[in-house]
Amino acid sequence: MAIRQRKKRDWFDRGAAAYALVRAEQRGEAVYPCPICLTLFTVDALADGRLSSEHVPPECVGGHELVLTCKRCNNSAGTKLDADAAVKELVHSAMAGTREHRERVKAAVGDLWVNAEVHLSGGGYSLVVPRHVNKPGTADNLKAVVRPGSSMTVQYRRFSELGAKISWFRAGYLAVFAVAGYAFALDPAMEIVRRQILECDERQMVTFTSEVSEDIALSVHRVLRVRAPDWHRGWAVEFGRYFVHFPSARDMDFYDRMATCGSAVTPYMTTYEYVGWPTEPTFGRAAPPGDTSTDRCVIRWPSIAGI
């Protein structure tokens, strides 16, 4: 516990020093603004739990502690957003046939709905209707309506697609904040980003994420600087098959261009610089760990724009 507290205090001190450089008018006691709501906190917020370490990406999808955020922002994300991201991945793996555990579903034949389990075996699926999770007589009712060639509707667990996307968007924002610090978080172009994260029940822009068709492992995390095309210049963060996108400094029209240019029919080449993946926050005051290289990738936007 003492080691964890020292780590959080070190992050607070680094963040407060980085903030003081960006806000030269800040005088007196050291303060650390929550990167999401920008509320100022003094060091006593560590002791009483108002500031806590945040997992990036969410712990439920394999993330690790990376930055400090306030308790309110941290808790609201876990309830409203991260649960949606986690359920979406469970459903995705179940439908892809890569999930080893049984997945609870609801199944319907005609007007009859039952509680069931999807089992994966030998590359194929089977649907099991356990008696203990259904009303007495359900099995008999099901036998009465099932005929050879009958169609069945299978409903996996529900989740908010928008909530899942904002969860990745939020994690990407915090990853870039860990690398670039308050110059990034306090830039006017980030206002709409923070508003989308905080007001997560409504979409604030047409698109801010992309999802490639390849099934890339979620353990692949990369912070990228997009260099071309010009309309897309800024930041991108990769979490497996998900990419989340952020503007360069004072680029107030970035998401409008994404909505317009991203819907082009012709695929385009994206050139990006691999910045690395931070294991701890540097707030723009030191180079993050990881190799730096230049890569190219082709993204076919018509399939992902508007997500």
Two tokens at 49?
């739990």
Whether the pLDDT of residue 307 is over 50: the answer is no
Unique residue bearing structure tokens 């400094």: 249
Q: Using alpha carbons only, give the angle 202, 224, 58 rounded to the nearest 5 degrees.
A: 50
pLDDT at residue 253, as a whole number = 96
Whether the pLDDT of residue 304 is over 50: the answer is no
Give the number of other Cβ atoms within 10 Å of residue 38's Cβ.
Answer: 14
Whether the pLDDT of residue 102 is over 80: the answer is no
Burial 39-55 (b: 16+ CB within 10 A, else e): bebebebbeeeebbbbb
Radius of gyration from C-alpha coordinates of the chain: 23
Give the number of other Cβ atoms within 10 Å of residue 263's Cβ.
Answer: 14
How far apart are the C-alpha atoms of 160 and 9, rounded to whole Å? 35
* CA–centroid distance for 282 within its chain: 21
Angle between helical axes of 161-180 and 83-96 (0-180°, round to 10): 110
CA distances from 293 to 254, 271, 280 (A): 24, 11, 20
Q: Which of 26-30, 102-106, 119-123, 163-167 has the lowest mean pLDDT?
A: 119-123
pLDDT at residue 174, as a whole number = 98
246 membership: H or E segment, kind and range: strand 242-247
Task: Provide the residue type at 179 as one letter.
Answer: V
Unique residue bearing structure tokens 């989740």: 159
DSSP secondary structure of 282-305: -TTSSPPSS--EEEEEEE-GGGTT
* Confidence category of residue 126, pLDDT binned at 50, 70, 90: confident
* CA–centroid distance for 226 within its chain: 19
CB 100 within 8 Å of CB 77: no
How far apart are the C-alpha atoms of 293 and 53, rounded to whole Å? 30
Average pLDDT for the chain: 84
How far apart are the C-alpha atoms of 29 and 217, rounded to whole Å? 44
Q: 108: closest CA among 89, 129, 131, 90?
A: 129
pLDDT at residue 301, as a whole number = 41
CB 209 within 8 Å of CB 88: no
CB 63 within 8 Å of CB 43: no
Sequence ranges of the domains in the chain = 2-88+160-303, 100-155
Give the number of other Cβ atoms within 10 Å of residue 97's Cβ.
Answer: 11
Does 229 sit behind a cis peptide bond, omega within 30 degrees of 0 on the bond before it?
yes
42-85 pLDDT, tens digit per residue, is 999 999 999 999 999 999 888 999 999 999 999 877 777 888 88
**DSSP SS3 for 277:** coil
Q: What is the pTM of this model?
A: 0.82
Q: How many CA atoms lie within 13 A of 111 on its CB side?
A: 0
pLDDT at residue 82, as a whole number = 86
pLDDT at residue 1, as a whole number = 57
Which class for 6: exposed (0-12), middle (13-18), buried (19 or more C-beta within 10 A)? exposed
Whether the pLDDT of residue 136 is over 70: the answer is yes
